[in-house]
Amino acid sequence: MADSTATHNLENMDELDFMGWNRADWEGAFARYHTDDVLVEVHGQPPTHGIREHIHAMLAFVESTGGAPVQVKSHPIRFGSGEWTCVVGELEDGSRMVTVARWRDGAISEEYIWV
């Protein structure tokens, strides 16, 4: 069971994936739920440092896969404690991703994603 901080952050993760990622709202919901100095590691790739670098990497990833983000359909597994959350996302293509995030003031400051 998640505590109130983790519960709030899990709600923010829903907004990030379902609004920011799915709608490719890079400068709106996507940027809002990451800190300016966010550190992100995706599936063994070199980490990005800062929201600009993270958005640039995600734009390049989306472009390499056809120009539109694979949609996140649901978060069937989600839990957290304090500043940490873990979410399993089911994607429209049948695959899954796991995101472990550390939150600061309602935004992700560290993010580790496996697809």
**The predicted structure's pLDDT at residue 58:** 93
Residues 6+ apart with CB under 8 A from 2: 10, 78, 79, 80, 81, 85
**The predicted structure's pLDDT at residue 93:** 93
Tens digits of pLDDT across the chain (115 residues): 568 999 999 999 999 999 999 999 999 999 999 999 999 999 888 999 999 999 999 999 899 888 888 999 999 999 999 999 999 999 999 999 999 999 999 999 999 999 8
In angstroms, the CA 96 to CA 90 distance is 5
**The predicted structure's pLDDT at residue 44:** 83
**The predicted structure's pLDDT at residue 66:** 83
Q: Which domains does the chain have, with CATH numbers?
A: 4-114 (3.10.450.50)
Q: Tell me which amino acid residue 86 is.
A: C
